[in-house]
Structure 1
Amino acid sequence: MEEYRTVEKEASDFFIEKKSKFIGYAKPVSTPDEAADFINTIKAMHWDATHNVYAYVLRDNNFQRYSDDGEPSGTAGVPVLDVLLKENLVNVCVVATRYFGGTLLGAGGLVRAYSHTSKIAIEAANIVTMAECGIYRCDIDYSFYDRLVVLLNEVGANIEGSDFSDKVKVIFTVKEKYAKILAERLTDVSNGKYRIRRLGRKFDKIG
């Protein structure tokens, strides 16, 4: 898989439905252990909640888990998971915490409430697309730095870091299909003075 959708950061949001408070938490995770740690952290934070429902999907083997945490079967964990699947999200965990307000919502009401909790959580965490990118380095003179930044922006590259010493050493990521285009443009603009050097690869946010 060259690209996948996930969330950018840990975040939360909440709403009230018939006096029940629903709090949605979302976080990027990449392993079952990371998901379990996040779930346990939220459970410890809301030890007095009526329910701490969760669902997560991992990119590796499309691994999925969910829990209704005491709510009627199929009314909580599955709706949370369904939102993740409909949004084509992976490597994300959502915990939906409920403080019961005294009014029963019914099966349909629970499904809608937990679906909405999942939705507002992932929206707060910001959905992003991750793509397999090459990690590159380019050493340039100070006078060429601004021009290089323009070239990197043109191909959607992300600057990871810059070291301003005797020369400027720029580390950046760019989708592999654009690396060749960047190399050619850099050669043309600098009259062959500068080159990019590949250091490795990683998944990075694009768009």
Structure 2
Amino acid sequence: MTEYYIPTGRSEAELVEKRSRFIGQVWRVDSEAEARARIEEVRRQHYDARHHCWCYRIREEGVERYSDDGEPQGTAGQPMLNVFQRENVTNVVCVVTRYFGGILLGAGGLVRAYTQSAKDALDRAGISVVRRWVALEVPCAYAQFEAMRREVLAFGGVVEQVDYAADVLLSVLIPEEQSAAFSAHILDVSAGTVEALEAGEQLKDVPWREPVQH
């Protein structure tokens, strides 16, 4: 089974610590070249900042890299990378730009600030899961709709669309390994009145953890 996690979208989050301004940004990327291009884009955007610390993870290329960009060794890039390793998020680049505020933070303070900046940016981006899904159409009566929706969620699925007519038609995605069990289950709990119709398979990303606004 192929399953991995990626940022849902681009994000930016700002943190101020003892007058130093930290701007964390996250992007979804598919290659090391794209990650490097994003880093250079930030350097141009914030050309007057003292530090642009970064990290990235690229699943297809098996690459993980980071840079402290002039901060004391081990206080920025690696702590940032740790955030994405802990969340198991890949195909991601994160840049944290620091505008120095005139007060030294010390090694511990820098680690905390860069870690928090990366985490805040990831929280704002949200996380999606990429995996193989079976697309199913589930026709049911209006009285059965809420129960069917709950069954989809209970099997780790996603309701992509709902069409309302004489009956209700749910277009859903169910994890590939759960598809047969889901179809059998809803046929059973509906006493044979609801039958899922397969509409194909696909590898795609769907939101797994919604963006959080700090």
Q: Distance in 1 between matches of 2:75 and 2:150?
A: 51
Q: Offset of 1:199 from its aligned partner?
A: 1.2
State the AA in 2 paired with 1:151: E
Q: Identity of counterpart residues, as a percentage?
A: 32
Q: Distance in 1 between matches of 2:139 and 2:48?
A: 57
Query: Which residue is 2:212 aligned to?
Result: none
Query: Which residue is 1:199 aligned to?
Result: 200
Query: Which residue is 1:88 aligned to?
Result: 88
1:130 maps onto 2:148 in alignment:
no
Residues 191 and 108 from structure 1, CA distance in 2 versus in 1: closer, same or farther, beyond 3 angstroms? closer
Query: Which residue is 2:38 aligned to?
Result: 38
8 A Cα contact 1:131 1:205, kept in partner: no
Residues 75 and 151 from structure 1, CA distance in 2 versus in 1: closer, same or farther, beyond 3 angstroms? closer
- TM normalised by structure 2 equals 0.75
Task: Write the deviation string for residues 183-204 of structure 1: whole angstroms up to 9, x where unpaired.
Answer: 1134332636633214122243
Query: Which residue is 2:99 aligned to?
Result: 99
Task: Write the deviation string for residues 57-109 of structure 1: whole angstroms up to 9, x where unpaired.
Answer: 12225311222333344432222223322333322221101001123334444
Structure 2 counterparts to residues 100-179 of structure 1, below 5 A: 100-126=100-126, 128=127, 130=129, 132-138=131-137, 140=139, 143=142, 146=145, 148-162=148-162, 170-179=170-179
Structure 2 counterparts to residues 44-63 of structure 1, below 5 A: 44-63=44-63
8 A Cα contact 2:136 2:174, kept in partner: no
Matched positions, count:
206
Q: Distance in 2 between matches of 1:4 and 1:114?
A: 25
Q: Offset of 1:52 from its aligned partner?
A: 1.6
8 A Cα contact 1:56 1:94, kept in partner: yes
Q: Offset of 1:24 from its aligned partner?
A: 1.4
Q: Distance in 2 between matches of 1:132 and 1:25?
A: 25
Task: Write the deviation string for residues 112-169 of structure 1: whole angstroms up to 9, x where unpaired.
Answer: 332232233223334x462523231316366577254343233232122345679865
Q: Distance in 2 between matches of 1:41 and 1:142?
A: 52
Q: Distance in 2 between matches of 1:72 and 1:131?
A: 36
Residues 139 and 117 from structure 1, CA distance in 2 versus in 1: closer, same or farther, beyond 3 angstroms? closer
Question: What are the ranges of 5 or more consecutive residues in structure 1 without an aligned counterpart?
Answer: none
Classify the secondary structure of the residue corresponding to 2:156: coil
1:75 maps onto 2:60 in alignment:
no
State the AA in 2 paired with 1:201: Q
Question: What are the ranges of 5 or more consecutive residues in structure 2 without an aligned counterpart?
Answer: 210-214
8 A Cα contact 1:134 1:198, kept in partner: no
